[in-house]
Amino acid sequence: MRCGNSLFKWGGVTYIMGIINLSPDSFSGDGCQSLNAARQRALQMVEDGADIIDVGGESTRPDAKPVSVDEELQRVIPFISSIAARIRAPVSIDTYKCEVASRALESGACMINDVSGYRMQPGIFKLAAQADVPIVLTSNQRGQKVGDMIEAVISQLKDLIESAINAGVRRENIIVDPGIGFGKTVEQNLEIVRRLDELKVLGQPVLLGTSRKSFIAAVAGPSPEERALGTAASIAIGISRGADIVRVHDVKQMKLICRMSDAIAGRAAAE
């Protein structure tokens, strides 16, 4: 998969997506309050080994207050414009709004990360197709009653993949995300990590986003150290189950987890 100036070859080492939150009400408490702080954080993430920088201007926690298009643009566009050309890692825009995604791509982003699931705006597919950029499709069960969660995740992702391809998105530009924390219970989130390899039936690279999420706190404990250690465990298991990208807040620490997990799993850098 080509993303900006980077080439991603699946099946080798695990890639790292570093999280930049420009929302003051981020669930993890890491929202950057200034453009300079966000830039410095992104530069440090790349130095620490991030392969992608994922920036979002609206919190995705269940009780978060919706953000207008204008406010989201004010949060993310100055950052993308100021950092995209300064770092070797491509920038991804974490949004479900077509206008925000479009402006972000114009400003230097080269990937779309949409967590909305079945609520996805059709225009997002057309935008990704026209710009010929990678897109992350996420399984989101918020507001739904689900029996077998793995079956529901795979079914939804199949539908989203089909919709994206029908809109003109190239299959090699599609990444799938099981949507940890989006309408799932603690037990269901744990099951998804445990059975992550079953998503390989979709034939697409898999992104795993467990970092600091509430199911981690429920099991490992709520303190920052406990969440970090719990995240590390989930990433190690996820890599053993075939995760291709991990989305994390703590790049430096999780880079070591990925390196060791890849070595144990016998995964090597693709030639």
Q: Is residue 139 scored above 70 in pLDDT? A: yes
Residue keyed to tokens 């995604």: 101
Closest CA relative to residue 199, chosen from 181, 176, 182? 176
- CA dist., res. 51 & res. 3, Å (int): 11
Q: How many domains does the chain have?
A: 1
Catalytic residue among 41, 212, 213, 267: 213
Q: Is residue 29 scored above 90 in pLDDT? A: no
Mean pLDDT in residue range 59-78: 88
User: Vertex 30, ends 25 and 34: CA angle to 5°?
Assistant: 85
Antiparallel, parallel or unpaired: β 111-114 and 91-94: parallel
Q: Residue 271's pLDDT is what?
A: 42
Q: Is residue 98 scored above 50 in pLDDT? A: yes
Mean pLDDT in residue range 80-105: 97
Provide φ and ψ at 223, rounded to 5°.
-70, 155
- CA dist., res. 214 & res. 237, Å (int): 18
Closest CA relative to residue 5, chosen from 47, 55, 49, 51? 51
Q: Residue 24's pLDDT is what?
A: 80
Indicate whether 9 belongs to any domain.
no
Indicate whether 266 belongs to any domain.
no
> Would you list the DSSP string of 122-191?
HHHHHHHHHHT--EEEE---TT---SSHHHHHHHHHHHHHHHHHHTT--GGGEEEE--TTSS--HHHHHH
Q: What's this model's pTM, rounded to 2 decimal places?
A: 0.94
214 or 120: which carries more pLDDT confidence? 214
Indicate whether 6 belongs to any domain.
no
- The residue segments making up the domain with residue 42 are 15-261
Indicate whether 2 belongs to any domain.
no
Indicate whether 134 belongs to any domain.
yes
Helix (H, G, I), strand (E, B) or coil at 94: strand
Q: Which amino acid is at 148?
A: D
Q: Residue 30's pLDDT is what?
A: 56
Q: Is residue 23 scored above 90 in pLDDT? A: no
Closest CA relative to residue 193, chosen from 233, 227, 159, 229? 233
pLDDT in tens, 204-257: 999 999 999 999 999 999 999 999 999 999 999 999 999 999 999 999 999 999
**Average pLDDT taken over every residue of the chain:** 94
| Catalytic (active site) residue 213 | yes
Catalytic residue among 75, 247, 255, 267: 247
Q: Residue 264's pLDDT is what?
A: 95
Q: Is residue 87 scored above 50 in pLDDT? A: yes
- CA dist., res. 197 & res. 211, Å (int): 19
55: enclosing H helix or E strand: strand 52-56
Q: What's 32's DSSP letter?
A: -
Q: Which segment of 118-122, 133-137, 215-219 scores lowest on mean pLDDT?
A: 118-122
Indicate whether 98 belongs to any domain.
yes
CB–CB of 251/211 below 8 Å? no
Q: Residue 116's pLDDT is what?
A: 94
Query: In degrees to the nearest 10, what's the CA dihedral of 4, 9, 11, 12?
Result: -100
Helix (H, G, I), strand (E, B) or coil at 218: helix
Q: Is residue 192 scored above 80 in pLDDT? A: yes
Task: Output the domain CATH number for residue 146.
Answer: 3.20.20.20
Indicate whether 215 belongs to any domain.
yes
Q: Is residue 66 scored above 90 in pLDDT? A: no
- CA dist., res. 124 & res. 102, Å (int): 9
Q: Is residue 199 scored above 80 in pLDDT? A: yes
- CA dist., res. 255 & res. 172, Å (int): 25
